[in-house]
Amino acid sequence: MTTERVTIDLAENGVAQVRFNRPDKMNALDPAQFEAIIETGNRLRSMKGLRAVVLAGEGRAFCAGLDVSSFTATHDGDRAPLTARTHDNANIFQEVAMTWRKCPVPVVAAIHGVCFGGGLQIASGADIRVVHPATRLAIMELKWGLVPDMGGYRLWRGLVRDDVLRELVYTNREFSGAEAQALGLATHVTEDPLGKANDIANEIASRNPEAIRGAKRLSEAMLEKSGDEILLAESQEQAAVMRTPNQVEAVMAGMQKRAPKFTDS
């Protein structure tokens, strides 16, 4: 499936390749790009056979952030107030980042070129981020007199140490992909982020799809729920994975296949 701004290509193993497709503008975010990303997220949620997503940008960059030239001081007149929850728990600006967390399967972002402002908040919505060491990143909003408001504060919780995040937000200093891992904003740093992202996604796609989806739900619950609620959620997800004799048999067969081999030597 293809739109003008975002493309989706679903492979036989259930890995969807999703690409931001505005390379002439370094995939910067204008109103059409916001709509295309949200439409893509909605499609992925109902896509049959989906097991993992690899998210990347065409051309020279992952996403350069907000395309300031496409917005005017009066453009908000036809749009709902920022405080209106127009997309479940989010507004349209937050949804472009939150949609990747709402995706039922893991999302692996391959990040190159530049990843500024809203682009970094979108990348933060992925489960896993693979970054080229020369990628340029920044939480850019305060440079323009704004606060980060595209889901970043929700998504950075648990990723970035509090004082480090404050410094990055307050100063909007630029940092490299090589530094991003130490800061907590990158999972892996490699010269081939797209290749590494595909390796990870293909590995995920080889696992029990119900268990993978349950594990993603638990990862989100871990950030939101109390300790007791998490314990119950674990039990509920495991019970769902093993609710029929056929499922139990399949799990046991997989455990036998992947069990480590021990010797007396």
Pull the structure tokens for residue 14.
């259930």
State the fold for domain 6-205. Answer: 2-enoyl-CoA Hydratase; Chain A, domain 1 (3.90.226)
pTM, to two decimals: 0.91
Q: Which CATH class is domain 209-258?
A: mainly alpha
How far is residue 102's CA from residue 118's CA, in Å, rounded to a whole number?
17
The separation between CA 100 and the C-alpha centre of its own chain, rounded to angstroms, equals 4
Q: Look at residue 245 in the predicted model and tell me its pLDDT.
A: 72
Residue 2 has a pLDDT of 46
Please enumerate, as own/partner, the contacts of 154-163 that have beta carbons within 8 Å and a separation of 24 or more. Answer: 154/98, 155/97, 155/98, 155/101, 155/121, 155/124, 155/125, 156/124, 156/185, 157/223, 158/223, 159/124, 159/184, 159/185, 160/184, 160/185
- Give the pLDDT score at 264: 59
Q: 27 with 62: CB under 8 angstroms?
A: yes
**Residues of the chain under the 70 pLDDT cut:** 1-3, 72-78, 248-250, 252-265
Domains in the chain: boundaries: 6-205, 209-258
Q: What is the pLDDT of residue 244?
A: 76
Residue 95: which of 65, 122, 67 has the closest Cα? Answer: 122
13: tokens are 């193993």
